[in-house]
Chain A
Amino acid sequence: MTVHLRAISGAVAAFLLTSMPVLAQDFRLGVAAEPTSMDPHFHNLSPNNQVMRHIFEPLVFMDETQKIGPGLATSWKVIDDTTWEFKLKPGVKFHDGSDFGVDDVIATMKRAPDVPKSPASFGSYIRGKTFEKVDDLTFRVKTPGPEPLMLNHLAQIWIISRKNAAMTTEDYNAGKAAIGTGPYRFSEYVAGDRVVLTRNDSYWGEKPTWGKVTIRPVKSDPTRVAALLSGDLDAIEAVPSADAQRLKADSRLTVASALSNRVIYFHLDRHREDSPFIKGKDGAAIKNPLNDLKVRTALSKALNRTAIVERIMENEAQPASQFVPDSYPGTSKALKPVPYDLEGAKKLLAEAGLSNGFKVTIHGPNGRYTNDAKILEAAGQMWSRLGLDVAVEAIPAANFFSRASTGGANGTPEFSLFLVGWSAGTGEPSDSVKALVTTYNREKGTGSANRGRYSNPKVDELLLTAIRTVDDAKRNALLAEATEIAIKDVAIIPIHYPLNTWAAKKGFSIKPRSDEYTLAMSFKKD
């Protein structure tokens, strides 16, 4: 571009932008997915929760690595196996000036599980717990059995004012009831366009940095990046992996990533003798080979995780060894990502009597996780090298999850070998192990996302003991042991842990979060 054109463009830009003064304290944040509601208890979904976190606060906080610390509750103690006592922070005020106290906590816990028409409620964190007032700043929680994950659960519940407990979802959407204790006040919500927040000057904690925060959903990846480059936005979340390296090299920007609590993995059909998407090479029905540990191990060894991470994820990921990265509590330090070993895999397959391989169709969602369809294709190619006839089918998420969960005969999972992702919202692996690899049992609520129907009494027993063990060290050891058994038995084939990447203009510092939340509080002006 010539100097002349630059001068003109500068003048035009100045002219166009004059009526839009950008204050130094304004912060414009671009997010990839739009919140579905302003009701903090309507939909337990990250795009909602991350907006709520500005306005509302939980009793205990999770920091950027999901470590638990005091929040609206300053201290707690375990009275006995089934009773916890919490002390609340005195002097905290809601945005409308009213005092925060135990009555608000109790009103919240009553409302949150029972919001009408809620598609994903917070009930699982609250049901079974009884909240009792001791005094204005002290309450006790009673549970039917030991509940070691008490704090992890309470960290998910947004505390509302008791005055607004009877308000409807529409009242919250209109802003009438969106009153919390958080660092930012609700100011405006235009569905599909923006959420505007203003600083809570009487915030009890560290003074919020920004005078005004505008959160704008920009779904299209290239547009979100362009909006940052053009200065429409100050920061964006979910930097596409294809752009991350380029943006890191751009001197006008700051980029930061954190390893997420999500694992991308293959689930394997373990509940059928004849799996619908596996056939002999001649097309004849064969016995489900995935029931053979040697075949499962061969599949895992034939996956070149390093290549997937480097080539497809463009280094915006790490090879995975288990359900959550081993920086989290309750994980096994002994497990390492299975190294790529094609010869070893071929040998194992031969030992299993399948040296000719077999035909398999692998399935996965398209567009649900970063590069999901590409990873599925790559895995298909890698398994072809192992000697299998692989067909790859990437399906839109809307269709994939219902088929993967109940698409088969009698409402059983449909697929044989399929790619899925799982994130550990509680910041440790107990939910992952429980949902993915314990025996599917509706009454007990175990194996709720066990779409392979893997079942191992040893894993079940360890997990069920772990989630009743209040002692952290003991529980984490049990979880690590359950993880080791399940992974060595190849109950799932972990592929990678994606990185979450944020980008901001130069001069901002970013504190990236492992729970994928994008918060204005994570950004500071240098």
Chain B
Amino acid sequence: MLEQQLLNALTLGSVYALFALGFTLVFGVLAVINLSHGAVFMAGSYAALVLVTRFDAPLWLALLGAALFSGVIGLLVDVLVLKPLRARNAPHLIPMIATIGVGIMLTSSAQGLFGAEIRRFPEEILPAADFIIGDIHVRALELAIVAIAFLLMAVLFTVLKRSQLGRALRAIAESPKAACLLGINVEALFHVTSFAAAALGGVAGVLIGLDFNAITPQMGQPILHKGIAVIILGGMGDIRGALIGGLFLGFAEVISKAYLSSQMGDAVAFGLLFLILLVRPSGLFGRVLERKA
């Protein structure tokens, strides 16, 4: 049974990591805690649902469409909300409060358009193949989720580490002012980051929607809280930390649900998070850096 749990944990953890990567990327580059990231995640899964049910799109196209749709939302949030606040030099908590408002707007729009009830992907669209390896029951869907999540993360890591764009982003993360003086178009890269982060969030939304085959307007809330937990675990703005933190939380959650009560698992996670913040605000894996965000 443990192997089965580990597979579940890997699936969940890789989606958490994907979600948290976008979240932490925005914090690292824009220095904003974007609390609409959960709603963007939810929007992605509804976009895929609409593409599949209304337009009979295949799953891969739905995934792509969801990424695009969520990405555009992220871009719009940056252009319409965050940019004016940057221009005004608003205190750092103000953008965060604004993104709370954006999240409420998205969630309530979804509720108005689709109702509060649970929506599901049609069963026939899901990859049906199952394997039995030893004692473990492996769904092809789970393998696909893990593969997609890791593929996207690998792409992101490569871009950040190897490309000119990645170097520019890391320069901005150190100091937007210095980056600007070096001739980097900081505003444009803020837009790119917002788009990419939201697109990753949207894909994560589709993957979770597929895994549980349940989509609701409220589905962004719990994952937002988990995303917060992950980036605090991994160190805020730390890309590698988000990956490790996401997998860690996936495992912690599945294991504690299997061996403790289902709800107390969450309490343990947040209790742990609370303690980490008190003892080591830079995160478990983060650099020892007193970052006064």
Q: Do A and B come from one complex?
A: no
List chain A positions with a Cβ less than 8 A from chain B.
none
